[in-house]
Amino acid sequence: MYSIGPLTVAPGERAQGLIPVGISTYGVELGIPLIVVNGTEDGPVLCVDAGVHGDEYDGQEAIRRVLAEVDPAGLRGTLVGIPCMNTPAFEAAARTSGLDHLNLNRIFPGDADGSYSLRLAATFVEQVVPAIDALVDLHTGGTFGEIAPLTIVQGGYEDLATGIGLAAGHRLIWKGGKWGGTVRHPTLAAGKPAITIEAGGGTYREENVRLHIDSIHNILRQLKMTDGEAELRDDYIAVSGTFARSAAGGFLLGHAAPGENCKEGDLIAHIVDHYGNTLEEVRAPQDGIVLWVRRIRTVRPGDEVVIFGEVQGEITP
């Protein structure tokens, strides 16, 4: 038997249900929706989550499809899907929660006595992390931007997470994420591999759903949960990310696409006022790869415009 939250799932069975976090003003139970497929043979528990940011859709659909398709008879271990972690942010069609306006991916491990997002994070740490062996967290560039397909392996946890990180299949490995409070952190701190996979933006695209589905299947093979050899690339590129913010507000004109190589000094974007006068130019601070670009044309002072990736070297599996 496998147990997580309110669910107990026998070998060979599927289940779905909600880990409760609170009651909405409509009197409806809010919480973490789970889909579980328990394999007929022993193996690890892989959890795949999406919707930590409510305006990132591709991963949510990818999880539903993989969980619907995976056959418990051919599965070693258990696959846990959390298609939409942050339902109040999804309802708001926004990155942050409509209830308390917090960014869920900056506040882990949360606080059981805090506002809704803090309670949600604390519930994940208390009830999900102990019940899983590995975590794959799916994201996109969100409504505001578009990101190159890449995998984030947290700096300091390379030994733990690089294996599934390479199996995610993307050439770019972002070593870092200096910011804290992500859903990865409590999982890694518990000694369990956790990665984030990024692709696309806030506009739902079938090609990005497919990318996420392929990543999940390859990680299942890597963990020996399904048959077949995981496919790995010959080489991967390790990058670090630098966020560039603009001092000037205005209308953004972009000149680089996510994944594009750039040389130091290349014009990545410029910001104009309503008369067409250039207010600011954004140039590549070093040679590297453009990881994320802003897609929303409105730029307010201090907004993120681009994330540059500085190449740190190659990783050979």
Shortest separation between residue 52's beta carbon and Zn ion, angstroms: 6
Instruction: Closer to Zn ion by CB, 56 or 133: give it.
Output: 56
Stretch of 72-80, 129-137, 138-146, 205-213 contacting Zn ion, by CB under 5 A = 138-146
Say how many residues touch Zn ion, by CB under 5 A: 3
Shortest separation between residue 53's beta carbon and Zn ion, angstroms: 4
Instruction: Closer to Zn ion by CB, 53 or 175: give it.
Output: 53
- On whether the CB atoms of residues 217 and 67 are closer than 8 A, the answer is no
Under the binding rule (CB under 5 A), the answer on residue 294 touching Zn ion is no
Shortest separation between residue 205's beta carbon and Zn ion, angstroms: 15
Shortest separation between residue 240's beta carbon and Zn ion, angstroms: 18
Distance CA 37, CA 60 (A): 16
DSSP 154-217: -TT-HHHHHHHHHHT--SEEEE-------THHHHHHTT--EEEEEEEESS--HHHHHHHHHHHH
Distance CA 125, CA 280 (A): 43
Burial 45-82 (b: 16+ CB within 10 A, else e): bbbbbbbbbbbbbbbbbbbbbbbeebebeebbbbbbbb
Distance of CA 83 to the CA centre of its chain: 12
Shortest separation between residue 47's beta carbon and Zn ion, angstroms: 17
Window 30-89: residues binding Zn ion (CB under 5 A): 53, 56
Instruction: Closer to Zn ion by CB, 56 or 146: give it.
Output: 56
Instruction: Closer to Zn ion by CB, 53 or 212: give it.
Output: 53
Instruction: Closer to Zn ion by CB, 53 or 184: give it.
Output: 53
Under the binding rule (CB under 5 A), the answer on residue 139 touching Zn ion is yes
Under the binding rule (CB under 5 A), the answer on residue 184 touching Zn ion is no
Cis peptide before 109 (omega within 30 of 0): yes
Distance CA 51, CA 94 (A): 10
Instruction: Closer to Zn ion by CB, 53 or 294: give it.
Output: 53
Residue numbers at the binding site for Zn ion (CB under 5 A):
53, 56, 139
